[in-house]
Amino acid sequence: MGALALCSSALASVGVLGPGDEVLASGEYFDRIIFTGTAGSQVTVDLSSTEFDPYLLLIDANESVIAQEDDSPGAGLNVRLTVTLPRSGQFTAIVTSAQPGETGGYSLSLSAPGQVSADAPIGKQVPPAGESAQTQPPAAPQPPTAPGQPTQPPAPTQPLSPTRPRTVTGTVVDTQGRPIVGARVLIVPALTTGSVEVRSDANGVYVAEGLLDIPYRARAWTFVDHGGQRVCLRLGMESPVDFDTFVPTQGAVRNFRMQLSGPIEDLRDTPEQFGAVLSVYQAWPYEDAGNRIEFTFTPTGPLIDGTWSEPFTRVIDPDGATEMRGIPIGPYRVGATLVASDGTRTPLGVAVDSLAAPSATIDVDWTGDGSCSLGSGVEWENIYLAMPE
């Protein structure tokens, strides 16, 4: 990430793309340069490198792309981009490469009347005018780790007003609305490094202060002892839009709640869900048209949140997807029934693996290795159907 130096109406930056930088989904490293501008101002950005083919994007505070450029005419592989700012506010120049994995040093200059630099990027210092800019690698964000339990409850903390600038606050509760103590809340920049990690207090309240005017995501986890192991559960939020990125210029509230099933909204392009997955094997012999396989789940103990579930059923098409997702985590006794197109029902034997003898039911529960992820937090479990005689 390049540091900025202010020189009359111009900003100058030098930096290096390479390992330690953020990576685009398509595999290119990228840095960001933040600046402010006024509506109607004409901004010229020059980006050059002798070590890689530079690519430049200019985005606004809502992450909308205003302009982008690969190679400018007459500039070889370098880039010159001139754009009239459509509005006043904060903008970001994204420095990246034309091809994935390219690395090397670069220089960038930005000129516009009345231009001023925004807050220094995380992990960088903005030197006074006339001094050279130094490039240092940003601190890597730390994943959530197991919290220790406080020996004494901390003094209750009231959530800050959502209008407090550059602050995110909220509550963390379980499925019954009870505060979760020690939940790990991560406020993650959407375009760069520099995560902010805080914990919820005895009232389930957290506060993250001193944020930058850049897009963030809010995520949270809690640790639960289940099945003799410590499981790190991803927590849900009050509304699907709360999973989206936001800029905390005027402050923001993001509340979290333990969720036992349903979609994980920031993974909506994947089949991931809150809760557990039970994968069905050896379903292919039952793929005749119209067949369905019905699974009955009878709880044998409390769910991971301490509550009890009523028995329920799930149905799969053996000719389609054979994973049952979003199952509330807990111990169950599971049986299977083949339901033909004419409604005929035939019990099927089930087993825990392909070598075990099938029985009418098997006991199933889920565990995790204690690591925190963007998914539900527990390992998949399998159920094998008996082969037809």
Could you tell me if 292 and 381 lie in one domain? yes
| pLDDT for the residue numbered 148 | 32
Q: How many domains does the chain have?
A: 3
What are the pLDDT digits (tens) for 241-296? Answer: 999 999 999 999 999 999 999 999 999 889 999 999 999 999 999 988 789 999 99
Structural domain contains residue 123: no
Could you tell me if 23 and 69 lie in one domain? yes
Could you tell me if 100 and 191 lie in one domain? no
Among the three residues 199, 232, 259, which one is the final residue of a domain in this structure? Answer: 259
Could you tell me if 377 and 296 lie in one domain? yes
Structural domain contains residue 204: yes
CATH code assigned at 181: 2.60.40.10
Q: Considering the entire predicted model, what is its pTM?
A: 0.59
What are the pLDDT digits (tens) for 109-119? Answer: 888 654 433 33
Closest CA to 89 of 253, 245, 252, 250: 250
State whether the Cα torsion 267-33-29-71 is positive or negative: positive
| pLDDT for the residue numbered 40 | 84
Q: How many CB atoms lie within 10 A of CB 159?
A: 17
Structural domain boundaries enclosing 95: 3-117
Could you tell me if 286 and 230 lie in one domain? no
Residues 6+ apart with CB under 8 A from 29: 17, 18, 19, 21, 22, 23, 96, 97, 101, 102, 103
CATH code assigned at 110: 2.60.120.380
* CA atoms of 234 and 236, how far apart (whole Å): 7
DSSP-assigned beta bridge partners for residue 109: 12, 46
Q: How many CB atoms lie within 10 A of CB 377?
A: 27
pLDDT-flagged residues of the chain (< 70): 1-12, 25, 71-76, 112-163
Structural domain contains residue 90: yes
Could you tell me if 281 and 310 lie in one domain? yes
